[in-house]
Amino acid sequence: MTRLVLLHGRDLDGHDPESIEQDWLGALNAGLAASGSTLRLGDDDADYVYYGDTLAHLLEGGDGATPPVVAEVQIEGARATPSADAVAHDLAEWPAGAQRFAFEVARDVLAGAGVRPPAPPEARAEGVLDPLFEALAAAVALLDRIPGVSAAVVLLIARDVWTYLHDDDVRAAVDEAVAEALPDGPSVVVAHSLGSLIAWSTLTGARAGSAGDGGPAREVPLLLTMGCPLPVRAVREALQERGPLVFPPGVRRWVNVRDRLDLVAVHDITPETFPLPAGSPDVVNLVVDNRAPGNHAAVAVLEDGSYTGYLATAPVAAAVEAGLGGTAYESHDAPT
């Protein structure tokens, strides 16, 4: 039986994994209803893979044992997103590599929003503050002027992505733990934001049982990524420094979903933005109307208790149902 595997981003807002899973399934069921489907999904159909505490501990260099990546286990104390002021205060303490990476991500986000980004910093001049930090601060100020955009979220995603890509121990620990949390049988993997990068890395690496260790690849009828930063130039180039980009072995269909106003996902996944080897399957790109604040969240719960976000849209729910073996996928495609 095909399992549904849900892999979150970093925007947990202080909730525990069990409550997040219920919201994800509630939003997905709302999307299924909007698509005209009678299918409804519950706990018995899905595994919510939670890596938030693991990644936070590794990123922050915490003492003691690293919290495990878990599925179907309730954990108290998930991190909330710090305020923009708190993030700005911490920027000066970031490694220069993380600052430069965040600056390049911010430039791509600004360009995608039609805002002219600040020029790359020049070499430090005598008696002048760090030009890289000044350029990053200027980019943050521009981001904060875009309605509905959280500079803090963009910067924190950039920092987490940079650390994940440049710290081999962090990446190996998260990838291995996520791979072990995946079921042995076929699974539809639905990943959001930073989780999209982790899903791609896990499914393309030896930890996932792919060609890297000579074993069979995972059987994944559908990989669905939402608000995915993989096509962001700085992210793509950092991945290419590690090796060629590949279509995940074992994945039958890859559907990438974004809202045009989601500035974490400024591009479709195309041969230009994410060049895969010749002969690779095409990535299906869907553009949907994500009505969550900031147009990026996988799920948002409105005041009346209804759901919005990527998972609550009919095209996303229809793609998931098709991946699980339900209805014909093509009849629910959204225009791109």
The predicted-structure confidence for 161-189, as pLDDT tens digits, reads as follows 888 888 888 888 888 888 887 888 899 99
CATH number given to 3-79+160-332: 3.40.50
The residue that leads in pLDDT, 216 or 181, is 181
The mean pLDDT value for 264-292 works out to 95
The mean pLDDT value for 299-325 works out to 94
pLDDT classification of 284: cutoffs 50, 70, 90: very high
The DSSP element (H or E) to which 17 belongs, if any, is helix 17-34
The mean pLDDT value for 310-320 works out to 97
Domains of the chain, by residue range, sit at 3-79+160-332, 84-159
The mean pLDDT value for 17-26 works out to 86
pTM > 0.75: yes
The residue that leads in pLDDT, 195 or 93, is 195
**Are residues 220 and 90 in contact, defined by beta-carbon separation less than 8 angstroms?**
no
User: pLDDT value at position 280?
Assistant: 96
pLDDT classification of 211: cutoffs 50, 70, 90: very low
The mean pLDDT value for 63-91 works out to 50
The DSSP element (H or E) to which 181 belongs, if any, is helix 168-181
pLDDT over 90 at 231, yes or no: yes
Amino acid residing at 289: D
User: pLDDT value at position 9?
Assistant: 83
Residue 332 makes CB contacts below 8 A (sequence gap 6+) with 35, 314, 315, 318, 319, 322
User: pLDDT value at position 273?
Assistant: 95
pLDDT classification of 62: cutoffs 50, 70, 90: low
Task: Say what angle helices 233-242 and 151-166 make with each other, to 10 degrees.
Answer: 10
Which has the closest alpha carbon to 205: 265, 268, 235, 250? 250
Question: Can you tell me the distance from the alpha carbon of 254 to that of 222, in angstroms, rounded to the nearest whole number?
Answer: 6
The tokens describing 1, both together, are 């039986």
3-state secondary structure of 145: coil
